[in-house]
Amino acid sequence: MNSTSSEAVSWVGLGVMGAAMARRLMQAGHELAVTTRTRSKAEALLKEGASWVDGAEALWAHAGLVCIMPGLPSEVEALCFGDHGLIAKMPEGGLLVDFSTSDPALSRRIAEAARERGGDALDAPVSGGDVGAREGSLSIMVGGSESGCARMAPLFEVMGKQWVRQGDAGAGQLCKLVNQTAIAGMMSGLGEALLLAERSGLDPATVLESISGGAAGSWAMSHLAPRILQGDMAPGFAVRHFVKDLRLAAGAAESAGLNLAGLKQTLASYAALEAEGGGELGTQAIIKQLG
């Protein structure tokens, strides 16, 4: 796992995905500084050699490259804007990379504000779940300048099996919302298929042997269907984050003049699951709503 660049990195946000991605950069030789709202989430990385910093000024002092991965667009906005935010403290030549799934309009605002400071910003949401983050096999969807992408390319290659520049600022977020729309349909179909198998008297595990290698095969079927059968609802990607993503996708569809019935129905199922206390479960827990 070698990177062709040893550029220092500051990282904000150490959830399931963020911690794994930051660890891969550190293991590839990047000097890593981290911060997060709950310091206990950083302890493992600190023991492995990362340093702890507080505040935007300290993040930029450690590195001219700051990566963020908070959970919500409101948290992205709070991190970036304000007198003590990352934009206000950005040095000339600084690069801010948002790996979270957020609002495309917010990504465009951040990029414009960064340019006004003499810096740059990319939106680079990812797909591949906890497994992809640990193994460095994520798909990274990027919006922003070609020069920013060129600077990040060695780091993207440490974290993902592929990265694609989709266009200018906000385009990465739009691509991720397309991705989440596709996943929404797959998760509903997967849950319904397993229920049909079980209630028709078939062994769902045996059914998976037959259908996972054919046209019905997918990442979700290979990685999440076994968790469903084992009753494992631990989050590789939490329901509450998926609800946020699907709401953003529904907003993008509305802006495009589309009425995506499948997306709306899946959003309703996940929103109901969250309302019933399932927000911290993995997305495979949709089976609880469909049954």
User: What residues are annotated to the active site?
Assistant: 176
Q: How many other CB atoms are there within 10 angstroms of residue 158's CB atom?
A: 20
Q: Distance between CA atoms of 170 and 255, rounded to whole angstroms?
A: 14
Number of other CB atoms surrounding residue 39 within 10 Å? 13
Tokens of 87: 């934009």
Pseudo-torsion of CA 190, 272, 71, 287, nearest 10°?
-20
- The two beta strands, 65-68 and 95-98, are parallel
* Helix pair 171-199, 261-273: axis angle to 10 deg: 70
DSSP string, 128-153: SHHHHHHHT-EEEEEES-HHHHHHHH
Calpha distance 13→189 (Å, rounded): 32
Give the whole-angstrom CA distance, residue 252 versus residue 245. Answer: 11
Contact criterion met (CB below 8 Å) for 122 and 141: no
Q: Which residues contact 88 (CB under 8 A, 6 or more apart)?
A: 56, 81, 82
List residues bridging with 10 in a β-sheet: 33, 66
Contact 164, 141 (CB under 8 A): yes
